[in-house]
Amino acid sequence: MADSSRTELAYVKEPLWGTTPASPLTQLRFTGESLGYTISTTSSSEVRADRQVPDLIQTGASAAGSVNLELSYGAYDTLIESALFSAWSAPVAISVSDDIAASNASSAFTSSGTDFTSAGITAGQWVKIGGFAANGGENNGLYRVTGVAANSLAVSPAPASDEAAGGLSVTVSGSTIRNGISETSLTLEKAFTDIGQYIAFTGMVADTMDLQIQTGRVLTGSFGFMGASASIGTATAGTGAAVPAPSNPVLNAVNNIGQVMEGGAALSGVFLQSLSVSLANGLRGIGAVGSLGNVDIGSGRCQVTGRASFYFADGTLYEKYLNGTATSLSFRVTDADGNAYVFTLPRVRLTRGSIAAGGPDQDVMADFQFQAVRDQATGATIQIDRLAA
């Protein structure tokens, strides 16, 4: 009998929807899963004198299910591509000597020979700056790009101090992804290693992505999938041994949550208790005469919603709810090795707000529901930046 503790999940990106490539799979870290292939059946309506049902006919099928996880750096980047219908940008990889300086007054990093525009940096993304030395390297860190010119990278916040380029080897790195329109499908495989059975699900596209942050807990989430078909066998669908999953540490809401920003500014004097973000693509299976299962996956709108709960100390956010004022949300998660993600919703509407004293001897909480909408400046509803240590 199969034991859940001996189960493995693995995936591979498909070059063509529903087609598993001849390449190794990559192992997937998970805490639970519900991947399955549901077949619809219809009883025959034929009337018989012996009162029996003559047959049960297969009339439809769908591969679907979810993968639950604890967030860790690098482990789910391909699944994020599927959920956002997009791809990570080519990593920014600038490393130059005696050329990049920091300017506090201009809120920028400037250069003489480095062309920031050709490096693929876009306004709105986050970059990691390294190599500065003054005052213990106070100009190093993560910055949001506000403008890109050939020899100037405008950023927020401003560098802490002016620092000349001479004698420095400065690095600029980062990669970003924004929701788009390009579908990424995967083959997902469940391996029951103790009994040598493998179930492969093809054409799997992420329909949903959820992330949960709560005080005193690890960061958890899930991806929900919809796909084409399933098959079972005694060998993996991949070619050769599976690639091990990244082994970066699991992120938590205690010491891995960095800067939380609302309206473009870091929260000050207001503390977050919990935050959840949910993305839904509105996928639909497309059936056709002559085929059991989906022949394609149709996509709907990218809708991003969420909930946030703050310890009530300031009425600014509730005032924005009352006035229908748009805002933005951004939060950073960094593991013990220095690897980071920054999740950004550049334009947010608060759809519900509540401040209530629920009873005696309790903290008063400010609870909000929100929906992200298209931001004109970035053309995106959600943006995720990854910044390696």
DSSP per residue, 104-157 = TTTTEEEESS--TGGGT--TT-EEEEE---HHHHTT-EEEEEEEEETTEEEEES
Q: So what's the pLDDT on residue 3?
A: 85
Q: What pLDDT sits at residue 127?
A: 97
Q: pLDDT value at position 256?
A: 82
Residue 243 pLDDT exceeds 90: yes
- Distance separating alpha carbons of residues 81 and 339, to the nearest angstrom: 19
The sign of the torsion formed by the CA atoms of 201, 204, 206, 208 equals negative
Residue 309 confidence (pLDDT):
92
* Band of pLDDT at residue 11, cut at 50, 70 and 90: very high
Percent of the chain's residues with pLDDT above 70: 100
How far apart are the C-alpha atoms of 29 and 305, rounded to whole Å? 25
CA distances, 77 to each of 32, 71, 74, 177, 252 (Å)? 18, 11, 6, 10, 18
Instruction: Give the separation between CA 227 and CA 188, rounded to whole angstroms.
Output: 10
For the stretch 284-332, pLDDT in tens is: 988 888 788 888 899 999 999 999 999 888 888 999 999 999 999 999 9
pLDDT number for residue 267: 82
- In the chain the first and final C-alpha atoms are separated, in Å, by 43
Amino acid sitting at position 156: S
CB 113 within 8 A of CB 96: yes
- Band of pLDDT at residue 258, cut at 50, 70 and 90: confident
Distance CA 134, CA 162 (A): 9
From the number of C-beta atoms within 10 Å of its C-beta (0-12, 13-18, 19+), residue 86 rates as buried
Confidence of residue 148 (pLDDT cuts 50, 70, 90): very high
pLDDT reading at 357 higher than 80: yes
Q: Are 69 and 220 in contact (CB under 8 A)?
A: yes
Confidence of residue 215 (pLDDT cuts 50, 70, 90): confident
Give whole-number Cα distances, 119 to 58, 95, 164, 262, in Å.
54, 11, 21, 29
> 360-365, long-range: CB within 8 Å, 24+ apart, which pairs?
363/311, 363/312, 364/311, 364/312, 365/273, 365/309, 365/310, 365/311, 365/312
Task: Give the angle subtended at the CA of 220 by the CAs of 214 and 221, to the nearest 5°.
Answer: 120
Q: pTM for this structure? A: 0.93
Q: Mean pLDDT over residues 215-243, rounded?
A: 93
- Kindly indicate the confidence band of residue 157, based on its pLDDT and cuts at 50, 70 and 90: very high
pLDDT digits (tens, 9 = 90+) for 191-214: 998 899 999 999 999 999 999 998
Q: What are phi and psi of 89, to 5 degrees?
A: -65, 155
pLDDT tens per residue, range 64-97: 999 999 999 999 999 999 999 999 999 999 999 9
Per-residue model confidence as pLDDT tens digits over 14-58: 999 999 999 999 999 999 999 999 998 899 999 999 999 999 988
Domains of the chain, start order: 4-41+55-86+180-387 (no CATH), 92-178 (2.40.30)
**pLDDT value of position 102:** 97
Q: Can you tell me the mean pLDDT for 273-289?
A: 92
